[in-house]
Chains A and B, each alone.
Chain A
Amino acid sequence: MSRLSLQWQLASLAVLWCGLLSIHEAQPLVLISLPVLIGLRVWRPKALDMRRRVVSNGMVLALLTAWVAGAELNDRGAWLAAFSNLLWLLCGLKTLELDQYGAQRRTGLLLVLAAGTSGLFAQALGPSLLQAAAACMAIASLIVLEMTEAGGKEQFRSLCLLVGLSLPLVVVLFVLAPRLSPVWLIQGGTSTGLSAELDPGSIASLVKSEAPAMRIQFDGISPPEPAERYWRVMTLNQFDGRRWSANADEPRQAAPTPASAANIKPQINILLEQSNLRWLPWWGTGLPWPSSIRRTADGGIVQNTPVRGRTLYKLSAASWNEHQPWRFVEPTAADLQIPTASNPRLVRLGRQWLELPDTESKILTAKRWFLKQGFRYTLEPGKLPTNDALDTFLFENRRGFCEHFAAAFSALMRASNVPSRIVVGYQGGKWVHAIGAGAGHLQVQQSDAHAWSEVWIEGRGWTRVDPTAWIVPSRTEESLFESLEKAGSTGDQKLLSQSRSWMRLISGQWQVMDLKWNLWVMQFDQARQEDLLSKWFGSYANRWQTPLLIVFLSTMIGLGLMTLQWLQAPKINRERHQLNQCLKRLGLVLQTGETLEAAVARLGQQRPELTVPLQNLSNTYNQMRFGAPSQQPNLQQWKKCLKSLGCKRSIFYIMN
């Protein structure tokens, strides 16, 4: 066994573990055991007999069964997570039994696989770098294993050579290899952020995460004012007295985008994180692209499948003040429905406003009422009872966050016979400046999730009313952190992690790189591949894809092999080459076994006038090559010797 190889593998495992920390799906058992196993191997207690097989086949089978049984088998995503967790744990266990060449080799491969599977769950730049590092270390361990006695420099050179020469192949394959469509679709993980239903009473406390929800690039248009940054996701108009949900039929009525919309400017590019919803955030105007995304009559955009991973889409021709047809879709009976059996006090309050002349005055009255009651904005409103939840909120505890306010306001409006609904989405976002001349982007976090109301006003259509903004006016202009302070809920501030400004700057730049990594590499799918190929090779790209791939691959391989040959060729140093050239010019060919002195003497006999300079040359050369470092003549002297024989000291030399 090779100790160095083991060290590489332990390092690889440690890096892999660091990457796993950011993965939601990594089980606590794995996260705890891996460092323990690494520690055990480094410490090597005597009681642990390293020569025994630690992971027997039976044990693997038992672990596998237990693990898979723990996962829900009908959910492929859960199964995959279970499989990956097992793989990560096995990597740790395998390091304990490393004493044979074969076992050590397989562990190296297992580590490469483990790095790959962790790439299924984390695709941001940081985790990707960690995965790449873990894989490279595992490959290094394999090289060390095969070239045990070679020096560290030689081993490192081999690693660089192998990985460096493979990278062009990777790029060619990545860009040109035809993408197969998935055989089966793997669901990746649990959802964060928005959900398809809104049930304010069921949530006792809300800890908001700073995980990014989406990143938005503006092309040919400036970003909206902070107070106007409302990103609609879903419209909820079904109210059952407690829960608000979306109309299940609504997406079916959605209208597709015309194909011509793809290149219309201005454009907004949106990189959305996994949300597990079919609805995508948008501004309410513009044409979504790709055309598989459709606009619904209630002002949302949907795609056919839920968002299972990072998704990139764009909105064409989106300007902020454009006509929005969905605003004028007449309300239906569902938009007025309110179960009279529940929340009797709310309904009674709403009925009092029935007499008011128009919708605007009803909204104004409601606003005054809300402000008078002394509501408190907090992330810990406590749980509401199952029955009459909104009554309890409005008249008893008066503590809530955006969902409570929006739900209560919409219900009040319905009670006073105004068509009303709830919109969930995001509000706000941070502007992230790009390094250098880059355009920067708007980053929206999960903590920017928001809910607001929409009411039908004759002549103006569906109009946004944000009751949360009445209670905490700053909420829509500043971040949640500041608005909590203004609302007097300083205790809630602790719930939010707040980083220092210089860290925010660094993290901002990192976010930019992360975005680029995602835009260019991680989101490079079949569609983008086709786009790129047609841009480079015109409309024939599809037909020529395979030949192109072959041509590029063989070019890369050819170049790689040439590099290898060049690196492997025996090298003559520069001075020797110059000497050879000089002797060749003088017509002197060194015979096998002949020393330089003898050859020079031989030539000196033929051409006595050259004897002295030749001897000088020979002495200088020998001193340069074989003399002690302190006695070595400088290059000037060598140059002079060459010059005296009429030979120039060429800068370029060819290796043979």
Chain B
Amino acid sequence: MRWPTNIQKLILIFEHRLAHQGHRLQLNLRTLYIIPTGFGGLWLVSTMLLYLLGINSSSNGPLLLAFLCSGLFFLSLFLTQFNLQGLELITDQPSPAFAGTDVNYPLQLRSSCTRHSIKIGFRGCQTKVVPVLYSGTTIIQLPWAPTQRGLHQPGQVKIHAKAPLGLFVCWSYWQPSQPQLIYPKPLYGPVLELWLSKRNGGANVSGTLRGNSTETLQGLSPHRHEEGLQRVAWKQMARGRGWLAKRFESEANIEIHLSLDRGVERELALQHLSARIVELSEKNEAFGLSISGMEAIPNGRGRSHREACLRTVALA
């Protein structure tokens, strides 16, 4: 349903006031809200109709059915609430991700009994349906789409359920306080690269380059699937030697040091840096990073080095 903008704002304010914050949330009487759904309203109208028909035609059949319907309505109020009550939501350690992509935020659901048809999701994002939640701990990944780099809380989680009859909707809002690190969106573009020569110990080469020229072919080794098609030695493969990958070695006497290109807007430059770090890491090349105002990262390679660099770029 589309509400006018003013009312939408009011609803938003109201929902913010209803939301709870923290690392964990136990759903209980204080944190759960429940109202009849539209279908529940329809159900009540039908019950009323049956009651009136029964009263006016002096026949007890419709009257009994009307009583059954009202009994079901009343019971499903409790059953719907019981379906969520006692469920514990706990934040997990979210792994960093790039802005502009679909990001998963992990949540632990801890339950002491089996629950049905639970819908959970971040505001404005796709809702995840858990058809059956068995007792024990379940980790679910909630999708959301961050656009900005940095440490972000993904926003409000709405958890709701309508089982068993769909007459009531029971829900709760929660603001998980565990932030998720979001790297800048990788975007290819100019990056300031400082090429330091180890031999003469000083900076003698600099430029905005995306170089492959620094690499010399070292040899061949069996190709691994993760390496992608870029490194496949096609020539050797054509000769029937099978899948081989080219192994390069940076020229040992050159160190690459990445930093922001001053000529480009800062956010954009950070995105370029992000892309360059990803690229260099894929090639397993050593590089360093220095951004003004942030601690410089010395030359290195490997997964943790890559993450440290991306983290610096994300928080710069």
Contact = CB atoms under 8 A, between A and B. Distances in A.
B58 interface: yes
Contacts of B70: 169, 173
Contact of A147 (B68, B113, B117): B117
Interface stretch (A181-189, A506-514, A634-642): A181-189
Q: Number of contact residues on B: which range applies?
A: 35 or more
A357 B55 CA distance: 60
B61 A522 contact: yes
Contacts of B65: 112, 115-116, 119, 131, 135
B163 A147 contact: yes
Contact of B49 (A113, A145, A560): A113
A564 interface: yes
Contacts of B112: 570
Contact of A521 (B60, B117, B165): B60
B162 interface: yes
A116 B48 CA distance: 12
Interface string A129-153: 0010001000100110111111000
B76 A162 contact: yes
A179 interface: yes
A105 interface: yes
A568 interface: yes
Interface in B233-272: none
B75 A162 contact: yes
A185 B56 CA distance: 5
Nearest to B65: A116
A123 interface: yes
A557 interface: yes
Contacts of A123: 59-61
Interface in B31-72: 39, 42-43, 46, 49-50, 52-72
Nearest to B163: A146
B84 to A, nearest CB: 12
A126 interface: no
A578 interface: no
Given A105-B39, A560-B75, A149 B50 contact: no
B169 to A, nearest CB: 11
Contacts of B66: 116
A109 B40 CA distance: 10
B39 A147 contact: no
A116 B166 contact: no
A656 to B, nearest CB: 11
A309 B59 CA distance: 8
B116 interface: yes
A146 B166 contact: yes
B63 A174 contact: yes
Contact of A145 (B46, B82, B166): B166
A368 interface: no
B72 A139 contact: yes
Contact of A113 (B46, B116, B164): B46
A123 B71 CA distance: 22
Contacts of B132: 149-150
Contacts of A522: 59-61
A597 interface: no
A557 B64 CA distance: 18
Contact of B58 (A139, A525, A557): A525
A569 to B, nearest CB: 8
B216 interface: no
A194 interface: no
B221 interface: no
B14 to A, nearest CB: 26
B69 to A, nearest CB: 7
Interface string A155-180: 00010011101110110011001011
A89 interface: no
B56 A165 contact: no
Interface in B81-131: 82, 112-114, 116-117, 131
B58 A309 contact: yes
Nearest to A185: B56
B135 A570 contact: yes
A150 B74 CA distance: 23
A128 B68 CA distance: 14
A165 B164 CA distance: 14
A106 interface: yes
Contact of A183 (B52, B60, B117, B163): B52
A179 B58 CA distance: 10
B72 A143 contact: no
Contact of B64 (A139, A150, A174): A174
Nearest to B114: A154
B75 A165 contact: yes
Interface in B1-50: 39, 42-43, 46, 49-50
Contact of B59 (A102, A120, A170, A557): A120
A523 B50 CA distance: 17
B53 A117 contact: yes
A127 to B, nearest CB: 8
B52 A119 contact: no
Contacts of B116: 146-147, 149-150, 154
B162 A146 contact: yes
Contacts of A560: 75, 78
B140 interface: no
Contacts of A106: 39, 42
A646 to B, nearest CB: 32
Contacts of B72: 139, 162-163, 166
B79 interface: yes
A551 interface: no
A80 interface: yes
B53 A116 contact: yes
Contacts of B68: 135, 163, 166-167, 170
A148 B117 CA distance: 8
A174 B43 CA distance: 19
B165 A143 contact: yes
Nearest to B57: A186
Nearest to A101: B166
A143 B163 CA distance: 7
A561 B71 contact: no
Contacts of A313: none
A150 B61 contact: no
A573 to B, nearest CB: 14
Given A109-B39, A166-B72, A116 B61 contact: yes
B44 to A, nearest CB: 11
A106 B58 CA distance: 27
A550 to B, nearest CB: 13
A158 B82 CA distance: 13
A352 to B, nearest CB: 54
Contacts of B64: 119, 170, 174, 521
A183 B57 CA distance: 10
A146 B67 contact: no
Contact of A150 (B49, B131, B165): B131
A186 B60 contact: no
Contact of B56 (A117, A161, A183, A561): A183
Contact of A169 (B55, B71, B166): B71
B131 A112 contact: no
A119 B164 contact: no
21 contacts: A106-B39, A109-B39, A109-B43, A116-B61, A117-B62, A120-B57, A146-B164, A162-B165, A170-B71, A174-B63, A182-B55, A182-B56, A182-B58, A183-B52, A186-B57, A309-B57, A522-B60, A561-B78, A564-B79, A564-B82, A568-B113
5 closest Cβ pairs, A-B complex = A119-B61, A149-B131, A166-B71, A169-B71, A186-B57
Interface of A: 80, 102, 105-106, 109, 112-113, 115-117, 119-120, 122-123, 128, 131, 135, 139, 142-143, 145-150, 154, 158, 161-163, 165-167, 169-170, 173-174, 177, 179-186, 188, 308-309, 521-525, 557, 560-561, 564, 568-570
Given A149-B132, A185-B57, 12 more contacts: A112-B69, A120-B61, A120-B62, A131-B61, A158-B164, A161-B79, A163-B68, A166-B74, A173-B71, A182-B57, A308-B58, A569-B113
